[in-house]
Structures are given as structure tokens and as C-alpha cells.
Structure 1
Amino acid sequence: LGGSLHSGPVPGARGEDASAGAAADAAASAVATDARPADGPLDDGPSDDDLAGDDLAGGGRGAGGRGGDDGGRRGGASRPPRDERPPRRKGPLIAGIVIVAIVVAGGAVAYNFAAPKIQAIASAISGSQESDDYTGDGTSKVTITIKDGDIGEDVAATLQRSGVVKTSKVFYQLLLASPNVQFQPGSYALKKKMSSKAALTALQDKANRVQDPSIVIPEGTALADIEAGMVSKAGLSKADVEAAAKDLSAYGLPSGVTTLEGWLFPATYPINPKWTAKQYFQTMVDTMKQHLKTAGVAEADQERVVVFASLVQKEAGLAADYPKVARVFQNRLDDGMLLQSDATVAYGTGNTHRVTTTDAERADKSNRYNTYQHEGLPPAPISNPGDLALNAVTKMATGNWRYFVTVNLETGETVFSDTLAQHEQAVKQFQAWLRAHPDYQ
């Protein structure tokens, strides 16, 4: 924090500038590496599935300075020798021979029965058409929810949305040919990329019924990831969830609140097939209000505490450091210093899963969440904080620290400094650790 890892002037208290040296930039990409485990996916307890196909984890923290750009490698495609020639395609000819043989051997009845399969084989050989259905019993786990009142079309849409079947059309056509199939409301443990037949069979198997499904929201999870969890776990449509999230007047929030971000308390919420998106959000908001009350936060201070705690949630690592990180930010606010939090900058760019930022992003004044350019706290929360962060803001540690940097990425050991000179020494300690652990760079 505090930008002391920049190779250039850094705003300090009352206009003081300083430079941490060019060597710090070499370590910048590792600075924001979280020393704690990343926030976990929004999954239910019994299964290891992910949200709509993505492992959704919360961001790490900026350890006292800016993060570097995420690196990448380019690979080249190997080129075959010039004298190699691809073999001639014999697919259509083979398929034609097969069709003739069937017609001769079994007559028109046999052909009519086998024609669809033969066409599929011919298409596969010639590569002329891609199947509308997956094959096999699936890959990674996923939980889907059938809501009370869902009809066949709704179930088919849910399966496609969750990545279980390739297209809802094929599954629905299978349902039309299976008039005796009935669905029971509830959650089911399925797999991604299942054939429609395999998915239908799995939904009829009581062993796949999840007895106590739930949405688990880890501390620091962003609103976008919670919305995705409600779609994939609770079986709600994306449109309904997004519309409910925008209807801020429905939840009894303080006047002036512009987003549900920060107001959804991280906890485990059982899935109720009869609930709407608003009912889920209302429960999460009510839970946050209760925890704010328990933390001793007056109603008039709730919004500021939630914003502040959301920042601490993203920046702090070890539990013991939360009250210290809160004190650092408060001391900088009291001194009129810029907070210079990469977590806020990253959030303003739309990235909720990292805190590393680029020079251009930190220089972008149009980003309202850019605390390198704008004074004070960000305009709104950047995550949904838990009790640890809320209590850190209401019960800050006592100290004169203005800076902090993690000096050991394995243990999470963090050094808190009063002055920039002290902080620069801590940065050198961190750089020495990086040199001794090149795998982290």
C-alpha cells in the first residue's frame, strides 16, 4: 500500500514525494499475490462444482504496493514439411457404400430405420455438421435446481444455462418423446457436458437429489459472483437476478446506496425452490444489517462502515492483520493521503478477481474507484465483507502506521511501517525474499 513500490514520485503525507527505486518494479507482479487462500467458489457443501462453468474465486490482496501486469507466453504452431500431403477424404464415398449395402440387404424398411444414424456417421466423417448434443455421461460436477412450477421447457433451459446439455432443444425434444417423465422440485447433482439422454436419466435417479443444497458466499465475494451463483445453484434466470439486484428500493437500504455490492453478508444460504431472486437478496441484506448491529454500527454509519470493510476485506491477509490494515487506511485518511489501493482500482476496471493493476489503470482518472487519483474511500463497496473486516473497522488497532507490505508470501508475514523510509526497508526485505524464492516471480 502507499505506492512505495513505484519507481517514481509517490504522493505522501502533506505532499511529500519519495521513490522506492527501480528494483521494486521487478517485484511488482508478485506484490499483490495473496498469502492466504483465494476466496473459494460459490458452491454448495456436498459438491465441488463451479458456478456456470467458471471457478469463481475472490481476489487476493495488494501487499503494500501496486501489483504488476499478469504475464503470458506465446507459443508457435509447428508446421508440417512441405512434401507432406493430407490424405484424400474418403468419408462421403464410404458413407455412400454403407447406404447402398443397407438398401440392398434390408430394403426400404431397413434404410428408413438406419438412415438417421448413417447420416450422422457421414456427417462425422465429412465434418459437415456439428452435433447439437453432447455424448457420454459428462465431466465436472454441477448442481442445478428445478423450481416449483417449472415445466419441461424451463428444465431444458436450466440444463443448457448450467452447461449440462449442449442445447435445450434436443433435451426438450427428448422430453416430448417421454410422456411419463415427471420432475420434482429441488436441486440435483449432475455433470457438465452430458448427453440429453444421460441428463434425463440422472434427473430421474433419486440418488442425484441433493438433500440440503445451499449457496455458500465466502468473505470478499463480489456481487457479480453471487449473482452467478444464484443462477447456477438456485435455478433462477440471469434476467430475473439482474433485475432484482437493480431494484435497490426493495431492500430497505440507506438512502444514497447505489448498489447491492457490500450489503450481501457472506454466509451459507439454503436453496428454496419457491424463492424469487428478491427473496434471496432480502435475506442476505437482512443478515448483513444484523451483523452490523451486532458490531455496534449505528444506522447512520452503516454505509461508510460497509465501504471501509469491503476494502479491508480485499487488502488484509492474516486475521491478526485486519485491525492493523484498517488503522493504516484510517491514518492515511486522517493525514489527507491517497489510499492507493490496487484492489479499488481493479474493481473499477470490472475485474473482481485480482488486485494487480497496470500503470495505465492507476493513471486513469475516469475510474471513480481509483484511489491513486481520487481522495478518500471508494464511492461504493468493492466486495461483500464478513465479520472479521466489519470488526476491524469498528475496533481498529492502535498505531501510527501509514504503510504495509507482505514480506513472506508463504506465511503471510506483513510489516507495518510508520514512515516511508521504514517502509522502503521492508520492501527491500520483501525483494530479498523474492530473490530467494524465484518460483513466486
Structure 2
Amino acid sequence: MADELDWNAIISPAGGAERRRDGDGDDAADDPRPDRPLSRREARAREAARAAEQQGDTATRGDAGQQGEPAQQEHAARRGVGDDGGRPVSPADAPVARSVDELHPEVTALLTGEHRVPADEVAAAAAGGGDRRGGGGRASRAGRTPRPKRRRGPLIAGIVIVAVVIAAGVGGYQFIAPKIQQIASAIGGAQQSDDYTGSGTSKVTITIKQGDIGEDVAKTLQRSDVVKSSRAFYKLLLASPDVQFQPGSYALKKHMSAKAALAALQDPANAVKASIVIPEGTALKDIEAGMVSKAGLSEAEVSAAAKDLSKYGLPSGVTTLEGWLFPATYPINPGWTAEQYFQSMVDTMKEHLAAAGVAEKDQERVVIFASLVQKEAGLAADYPKVARVFQNRLDIDMPLQSDATVAYGTGNTHRVTTTDAERADASNKYNTYVHKGLPPAPISNPGDLAINAVTKMAQGKWLYFVTVNLETGETVFSDTYAQHQVAVAQFQSWLRAHPDYQ
């Protein structure tokens, strides 16, 4: 740790303590105050002179104070203490890098991204080898191609602590290098993150299917905008080998960090028992949308499964799954395909038809008839009466004149009102104002109430019905058209009294 380092020993020039103890040098003999501290220039000159004498190189003794100075500084910095083991007494004597060329090659590479070969090594290589003690032979290789110059901000920040890095040697370098990188990153500008921060915003439910691997989960999270990128989440997974996912649905949030999303998926409290809920009268296209949003299936998969009618054991001649999907709550099974969900719904419908006493040969007609009653009736008590009205019309070959069938033929499954033009359109095969008999196929998915209304109709001669109070659902049933007109006038009066319903 930084607090455990002796910074005086690290940053002071090598041999500083020795210079202060040694009073018999040439400079000291000439100085009238032999015990005074040497100046930095005097200390460097003496150190260079001693090095030259030890090497026996008289030719370089004269300029040791210039050419030898960087080498002596590096030598002292690597040792960190004087030749005799004493410690320097002043941080002010520490060497200070004044240019990139004076930095240690590894520090230069860290700060600037360029690998520089020291000048003395280059010279030694050019001279045929020379003394290889300082370079390990690196000068004999061609230097790497310099990278494009970076911003000088990191270099300026790094110069401030270069002396400490050089003096500390390998141990100090390893300690301080991350700090230098942080400073350089902050000054140089960080790249845009591929991860969100925080615990998220709006709620969202995602589903992990049986057999999904980590990469699949990461993509699901990105598609739902839970995480910013699947790469950030998957990278976190690689660093967390013990993480396992359980199939199911999970309540998460949009814009979560990868770390927060992973923690949420591991929290059992976020597991939800998701289900596909089909209310009575729901149309096929709305059921398909629910399977996509709740079960995590793709639109293409659901659409393809809905069109392949040969797999569900339906009566011959059936052209659509519409009407055959029994309204109920179906739990999410992450291992299921769209075909398996549809098969479960069809099987449930067949079970309820059988419970209502419907023979197999009559199933298609009952489903079509019940889908019409499901859309037209209001109050539960009126279902058997509405069924009777339509049956009475069929018995006398009278058009059913159902607005619900016309609307379905136009592609609108959420309303039962129509316009004069729509009711006159003979190209609409579901137009029961023009075409007599039941529509060619179901217009909704009926529940037990509508099925039982068809199999157990009320007794009466009604040919008409109209709801006269939209708030209470009160409906008037009439035997004749004249009676029906009176009921229609009653309904119009109610509408005038309640303009908000217009």
C-alpha cells in the first residue's frame, strides 16, 4: 500500500545519503564549508565523475555531467537508495522528467501508447552491440510502428507523477499504473458506455424459455430494453460462472444496468406466474397477440401455428382456429411452442362442448352459432333469448341481420355497430344483412354461457331484440316488427337523455 512506502527513499536520487556523509571528495576539499549540503548540480557532477572513474573511460569523463546524467538518474531511481544503503533526506532531490525521452520506456508506452527505444540502445546497436546491460538487446530489433498520436492531456497529467513511478521501481509501478490510467482516461475522454446505470424505470415482464442459454437471455433482455446491449450482460455472465436461470416469467424494469438485471433475475421475488387470459368473445388475432407478449413467442411462430389447422384434430372443412380456442386462463409454460398452446385451447373447447352435450358432428355449427350469441347478447339472462331470436329467423329463412357479423367481416373485432354502406356490402361474406343463414365461420371464441344458450335456448316467438338502456343492459324482445319499432323509439329517447353515449 502507498502508506507503507518510504517515499524519501523512493524519490531521492541514488547516493544522496552517501554524498552527505562523504567529506573527502574534490568539491568538498575546495569548499570552505565541507559539511554543507551539495547542490543538485554538484551532486550530479560528482556522481557522474565517480561513474566515469569506475569504468576507466577517461574520454567520457569531461561530459559525464551531460550525457551520463539521464543514465545515472535511471540507475539511481531503479535502486531507490544510495550505494551504501543510506536513505536520501530530501524529496526535492528526486529526478524530474522534463521530456518524453527521459521517461522509462514502459511509462512512455502507458501514457502515450508509443513504445520508444532508448537512445543509448539505438546507439549501441548501431555501434555493433556495445554494452547490452541496460537494454537486454532490444535495440537490435526494429522499433514498433508508432501509433497515431493521442491527446496530450494524459501525458501532461502523467508527468506530475513520473518521478515517483520511476523511483519506485517495479513494485511502485504496479501500484501506481491503474491510477495513471484513470487520470489519462478522465482527461482523454471515456468512450460511450454500452450499459445502462441504475435499477431501471418502467416495469416490463420477460420470459425465459426452456433451453435458453445465457446468450438467449441476454438477447431477450435487450429486445425488451431491459439492458442497453446484450454484449454487456453476456460479458457479466461470463464472469459469473455459477449463475443459472430458471425458465419462467420475471418482473423487471426497462433501462437496468447489466448488474442490476442479473441480480433481479436471481431474486425469486421477481418471478411471476404469468398466464394467457382469454375472456369470452375474444377474437383469434387478440389471442395471438397475447401469446407473443406473455409467452415470449415470436409473431411468425404464432401465426404459422395458427394457420396449420391439420394438427389440432378439428372437423373437416374448418378453415380457421377462430371459435375453437376456449376462453380461460392458461399458465405460461416456457417449454411450450405456439402449437402446444393452441392444442391446449382446442382440447379445452372440445371438453366443454362434450360437457354441454354437443355431438362431434354438431360441434362446428354450435361453435359458429355460440360465437354470434357471445357478441350480440348483453346480460347473462338474455343469452338463451338471443339464441332463440336467431334460431326463429333461421327457421323462417329470414336474414339474421347481425351487426356483429358485419363488423367482423370488415376486420373490426372490437365493435358491433356498422354503417349503412357496410350493411349493404355484398362482398363481405360475413354480412348477414345480405347473406342468409349463419356466417361461414365463427366471429369470436365463445364461453360456456353462449354454448349452453345454443344447446338450451329459451322458448319464445321473438324475432327482434334491442337494448334500450346501455347502462343497465336492459333489452326488449319483440315478436313483431311494430313492437320492435316501439322499443327502438324507447332506445332513441334514452340516447337523447344521455348524450355522452352518442
Q: Does the pair score TM above 0.5? A: yes
Instruction: Report deviation, 1:105.
Output: 6.9
Residue deviations 1:309-333 (CA, integer Å, cap 9, x gap): 0111111110000011111111122
Structure 1 length-normalised TM:
0.67
Report the 3-state secondary structure (helix = DSSP H, G, I; strand = E; otherwise coil) of the residue aligned with 1:407.
strand
Instruction: Choose from 230, 242, 250 the match for 1:188.
Output: 250
Residue aligning to 2:109: none
Q: CA deviation at 1:200?
A: 4.0
Work out whether 1:258 is the aligned partner of 2:319: yes
CA contact (8 A) 2:389 2:463 kept: yes
Q: Secondary structure at the match of 2:411?
A: coil
Structure 2 distance, partners of 1:190, 1:273, is 17
Q: Does 1:151 align with 2:213?
A: yes
1:175 matched to 2:234? The reply is yes
Structure 2 letter corresponding to 1:359: D
How many positions carry a matched residue from both structures? 327
1:267 counterpart (318, 324, 328): 328
**Residue 382 of structure 1: SS of its match in structure 2?**
coil
**For residues 430 and 100 of structure 1, what CA distance do their matches in structure 2 show?**
83
> What is aligned with 1:353?
414
Mapped to 1, the partners of 2:416 and 2:195 lie a distance apart of 40
**1:14-163 aligned within 5 A:** 109-110=182-183, 112-113=185-186, 137-139=200-202, 141-159=203-221
* Contact 2:199–2:256 (CA under 8 A) maintained in structure 1: yes
Q: 1:112 is matched by which residue type in structure 2?
A: S
Deviation of the 1:276 alpha carbon = 1.6
Q: Which entry has the higher C-alpha Rg, 1 or 2?
A: 2
Query: Is 1:401 equivalent to 2:462 in the alignment?
Result: yes
Q: In the alignment, what sits opposite 2:308?
A: 247
Shift of 1:101: 9.2
Equivalent AA in structure 2 for residue 329 of structure 1:
F
> Alpha carbons of 1:363 and 1:213: their partners in 2 closer, same or farther (altered >3 Å)?
same
Q: CA deviation at 1:160?
A: 5.4
Moved more, 249-258 or 397-406: 397-406
Alignment match, 2:395: 334
Change over 3 Å in CA distance of 1:101–1:273 after alignment to 2: same
Which digits, 9 at most, give the CA deviation of each residue in 1:141-181, with x for residues without a partner? 443321111123433444455xx317x87134332244215
Q: Describe the shift of the 1:113–1:277 C-alpha distance in structure 2 as closer, same or farther (beyond 3 A).
A: farther
| CA drift at 1:230 | 1.5
- Report the Cα offset of residue 362 of structure 1: 2.4
List per-residue Cα deviations over 1:57-93 (Å, max 9, x = no partner): xxxxxxxxxxxxxxxxxxxxxxxxxxxxxxxxxxxxx
Question: Does 1:165 find its partner at 2:165?
Answer: no
Q: CA deviation at 1:196?
A: 5.3
Q: Distance in 2 between matches of 1:119 and 1:144?
A: 27
In the alignment, residue 484 of structure 2 is paired with which amino acid? H
CA distance in 2, matches of 1:228, 1:428: 40
Tell me the residue number matched to 1:207. Answer: 269
Task: Provide the identity percentage.
Answer: 75
One-letter amino acid of the counterpart of residue 271, structure 2: R
* AA in 2 matched with 1:165: D
CA distance in 2, matches of 1:177, 1:415: 66
Q: Give the letter for the 1:348 counterpart.
A: G
Q: Give the structure 2 partner of residue 291 of structure 1.
A: 352
- Which consecutive unaligned segments of at least 5 residues does structure 1 have? 1-98, 121-130
Residues 195 and 257 in structure 2, CA contact (< 8 A), matched pair in contact too? no
Q: CA RMSD in A?
A: 2.9
| Alignment match, 1:232 | 293
Q: CA separation in 2, counterparts of 1:103 and 1:416?
A: 91
SS at 2:427's partner residue?
coil
| Shift of residue 111, structure 1, vs aligned partner | 5.5
Partner of 1:41: none
Question: Which structure's residues are more often helix, by fraction?
Answer: 2
Give the secondary-structure state (helix, strand or coil) at the position aligned to 1:257: coil
Alignment-derived partner of residue 16 in structure 2: none
1:194 to partner: Cα distance: 3.5
Alpha-carbon contact 1:347-1:382 (below 8 Å) kept: yes
Q: Give, as a single letter, the amino acid of the residue that structure 2 aligns with 1:138.
A: T
> Which residue in 1 is equivalent to 2:278?
217
Bigger mean CA deviation after superposition, 314-323 or 430-439: 430-439
Q: Which residue of 1 aligns with 2:478?
A: 417
Q: Distance in 1 between matches of 2:391 and 2:413?
A: 23
The answer to whether the 8 A contact 2:214-2:237 is kept is no
In the alignment, which of 365, 372, 379 is matched to residue 433 of structure 2?
Answer: 372
Aligned to 1:314: 375
How far residue 344 of structure 1 moved from its aligned partner, in angstroms, is 1.3
Report the Cα offset of residue 136 of structure 1: 6.4
Deviations 1:223-282, CA, capped at 9 Å, x for gaps: 111112222222222222111111111111000001111111111212222222111111
CA distance in 2, matches of 1:373, 1:230: 35
- Paired with 2:371 and 2:353, the residues of 1 have a C-alpha distance of 13
Instruction: Please give the alpha-carbon distance, in whole angstroms, between the structure 2 residues aligned to 1:339 and 1:111.
Output: 81
* Equivalence for 1:63: none
The code of the aligned residue for 1:188 comes to Y
- After TM superposition, list the pairs within 5 Å mapping 1:271-282 onto structure 2: 271-282=332-343
CA–CA separation in structure 2 for the residues paired with 1:380 and 1:138: 44
The answer to whether the Cα contact below 8 Å between 1:220 and 1:314 also exists between their aligned partners in 2 is yes
Cα 1:432–1:340 shift into 2, 3 Å: same
Letter in structure 2 aligned against 1:176: K
Considering Cα pairs closer than 8 Å and 6+ residues apart, tell me whether 1 or 2 has the greater RCO.
1
Q: For the residues of structure 2 that align with 1:272 and 1:284, how far apart are their CA atoms?
A: 14
Describe the SS at the equivalent of 1:300.
helix
Q: What runs of 5+ residues in structure 2 fail to find an aligned partner?
A: 1-150, 159-179
Instruction: Find the aligned partners of 2:379 and 2:155 in 1 and give their Cα distance.
Output: 74
Q: What amino acid is the match of 1:438?
A: P
Task: After TM superposition, give the deviation of residue 132 of structure 1 in Å.
Answer: 9.8
1:323 aligns with 2:396: no
Q: Which letter maps to 1:354?
A: R
